[in-house]
């Protein structure tokens, strides 16, 4: 059985969202340190307490920055990622008219770019004053939440049925958040790249149809399974479990880094 990392620090953005709060909760429950960027610290605390049902629970290993993430300066983001083993983005658009059609239209993509740039800058070490050689830093991990409706930019997914391609085309044209999710996936795949010597490694977790539910077993596939709608289910808590295990289990990370696994609840 693969060993898990101990005493990790993870930055989570989108930490009060339906999936992000589970990522924070599961990391804290296992004794790890979490940094979270949220608009309201109290809302963050309330959401974590709601999961456990303990209205008085305190969170000693949680450090909260109250801000809208895109309002943070590059230097502020750099300070947040410094010392982190991993960065997780569960950002998404609110499913309201203003959330889908108002600004920022490219929330997920712009946040991914700021985070990746900060991690690369933080881990790019310069020689000392006398040109002393320094050991290369351990690559940072960047985990982005996507969906199985977002195709892998490497072209490895199976070609969808014509009807599903038509539906996706309409969604892409009419729903800006879908275009944003596609652009974010393309950003990490094409701009961050897949170089083994990179100081930043990434994984885009693509859950199938999301539902609420308890933590259970899940499966990862290298491409979407079944139809676009109704091809399976994935609980948000299982998506969080996968992300946490990618952070803590180096063997699992080695299997899925630089890839876009599709997550389903295990049904057998």
Q: What are the Cα distances from residue 212, in Å, to 119, 145, 207, 237, 242?
A: 32, 16, 13, 7, 15
- Nearest CA to 84 among 49, 131, 32? 32
pLDDT of residue 259: 95
Most confidently predicted of 1-5, 88-92, 98-102, 222-226: 88-92
Q: Which two tokens stand for residue 172?
A: 């892409």
Q: Average pLDDT, whole number, for the chain?
A: 87
DSSP 8-state secondary structure symbol assigned to residue 189: I
- pLDDT band for position 137 (50/70/90)? confident
pLDDT of residue 133: 56
Percent of the chain with pLDDT over 70: 87
- Using the CB atoms, write b or e for 4-21: b if 16+ within 10 Å: beeebbbbbbbbbbbbbb
Is the pLDDT at 241 greater than 60, yes or no? Answer: yes
Residues 48/24, Cβ–Cβ less than 8 Å: yes
Residues 123/140, Cβ–Cβ less than 8 Å: yes
Q: Which two tokens stand for residue 235?
A: 């609980």
Residues 124/180, Cβ–Cβ less than 8 Å: no
Mean pLDDT, range 105-134, rounded to an integer: 79
Is the pLDDT at 130 greater than 60, yes or no? Answer: no
Exposed, middle or buried by CB within 10 Å (0-12, 13-18, 19+), for 124?
Answer: exposed
pLDDT of residue 1: 42
Most confidently predicted of 105-109, 146-150, 167-171, 214-218: 214-218
What are 154-191's pLDDT values in tens digits? 888 888 878 878 877 787 777 767 889 999 999 999 88
What are 36-68's pLDDT values in tens digits? 999 999 999 999 998 877 777 889 999 999 999
pTM here is 0.89
Name beta bridge partners: 11: 35, 87
d(CA 49, CA 43): 10
């Amino acid at each position: 059985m693969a060993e898990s990392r101990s005493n990790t620090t993870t930055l989570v953005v989108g930490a009060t969202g339906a999936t992000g709060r589970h990522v924070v909760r599961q990391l804290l429950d296992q004794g790890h340190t979490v940094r979270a960027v949220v608009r309201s610290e109290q809302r963050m605390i309330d959401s974590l307490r709601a999961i456990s049902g303990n209205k008085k629970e305190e969170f000693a290993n949680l450090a909260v920055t109250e801000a809208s993430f895109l309002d943070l300066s590059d230097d502020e983001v750099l300070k947040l990622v410094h010392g982190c083993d991993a960065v997780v983005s569960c950002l998404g658009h609110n499913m309201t008219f203003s959330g889908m059609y108002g600004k920022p239209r490219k929330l997920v993509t712009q946040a991914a770019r700021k985070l990746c740039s900060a991690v690369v800058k933080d881990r790019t070490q310069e020689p000392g004053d006398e040109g002393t050689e320094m050991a290369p830093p351990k690559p940072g991990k960047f985990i982005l939440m996507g969906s199985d409706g977002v195709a892998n930019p490497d072209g490895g997914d199976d070609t969808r049925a014509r009807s599903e391609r038509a539906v996706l085309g309409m969604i892409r044209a009419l729903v800006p958040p879908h275009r944003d999710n596609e652009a974010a996936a393309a950003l990490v795949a094409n701009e961050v790249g897949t170089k083994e010597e990179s100081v930043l490694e990434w994984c885009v977790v693509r859950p199938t149809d999301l539902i609420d539910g308890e933590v259970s077993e899940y499966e990862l596939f290298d491409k979407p399974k079944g139809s676009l709608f109704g091809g399976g289910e994935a609980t948000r808590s299982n998506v969080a479990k996968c992300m946490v295990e990618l952070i803590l289990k180096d063997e699992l990370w080695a299997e899925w880094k630089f890839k876009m696994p599709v997550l389903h609840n295990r049904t057998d």
